[in-house]
Amino acid sequence: MPRHRPDEDDSDEFDLPDGVYHDDEPATVPCPYCREPVPEDAQYCSRCENYLSAEDAPPSRKPVWIWVGLIVCLVLAVLMALS
């Protein structure tokens, strides 16, 4: 039996099972909006700048005009009810 020499190529010794590949790149998923690959742990797509999930998106604020319109409608409804 031949003796193992340290200068021999050991690539066969560390073969991965079929279907498993070793790469140094992070795992990616497609963006649900533009289908661009983004890292799995990303919060938003760097290409289209959309958040990948509702949990990652900042809380949405309703525009001021919605609140002003709601108050005006309530005031008008109260005034109509009193007259």
- Can you give the pLDDT at residue 39? 92
Mean confidence (pLDDT) of the chain: 80
The residues with which 29 forms a beta bridge, in sequence order, are 38
| Average pLDDT of span 11-25 | 60
Q: What whole-number percentage of the chain has pLDDT above 90?
A: 39
- Listed by start position, the domains of the chain span 23-82
Q: What is the pLDDT of residues 25-65, one digit of tens each?
A: 678 999 999 999 999 889 999 999 999 888 878 887 778 88
Nearest CA-CA partner of 52 in 69, 35, 68: 35
Q: What whole-number percentage of the chain has pLDDT above 70?
A: 69
